[in-house]
Amino acid sequence: MQIYHWLTRVIQLLTLLFFSALILVVMLQIVSRFMPFGFMWTEELSRFLFIFAVAFGAPLAMEKRDYVRVDVLLGFLPTKLRKYYDAVIYLMTGLFSTLLIYYAYELTVIGQNRTSATLAVDMSYIYASMIALFLLLGLYSFCNVYFVIQEAKAEGGADE
């Protein structure tokens, strides 16, 4: 459990760093519009920072179970059945994310020896963010399956 909390803290820090850098770069881009010179690289860097911020922020939403969901059907289910329904949804999300790791890897390989237009960054680094995204989403989805089932067992079948 210690590794789980440590990983979450690292991901929180990375998300904070990428979003903070994104804000600074966009502010620089706005300020440079009123200067006699401009920075051509800010648009591309802001796009890359946004990609990484989302790649690390989305698993945090999964970890906290904060994804938007439609729960019209859930209102008709008993409490214990709702928990198992949630577990199935997290399991499907985890399996789908795990499947997408392979395709994210394929995309990363395609990006080798290709560089971005203004920053000349190897695009495989940018595409690798999708590997991290799906790996972490899958991990947190499977952890949520475990946690939801443990909560359902702890409640001991109390239905509303």
Segment-wise mean pLDDT, segments of 10 residues, the chain, 160 residues: 95 98 97 91 97 98 90 82 92 98 98 95 97 98 96 71
Instruction: State the sign of the Cα–Cα–Cα–Cα dihedral 109, 112, 116, 120.
Output: positive
Residue 47 and residue 116 in contact, taking contact as beta carbons nearer than 8 Å: no
| Chain CA centroid to CA 46, Å | 17
- Residue 160's pLDDT is what? 47
pTM of the model: 0.90
Enumerate residues 6+ apart whose C-beta is below 8 A from 146. none
Other C-beta atoms lying within 10 Å of the C-beta of residue 113? 8
Residue 128 and residue 50 in contact, taking contact as beta carbons nearer than 8 Å: no
Task: Give the Cα separation of 3 and 154 in Å (integer).
Answer: 23
Task: Give the Cα separation of 95 and 128 in Å (integer).
Answer: 19
Beta bridge partners of 115: 122
Beta bridge partners of 122: 115
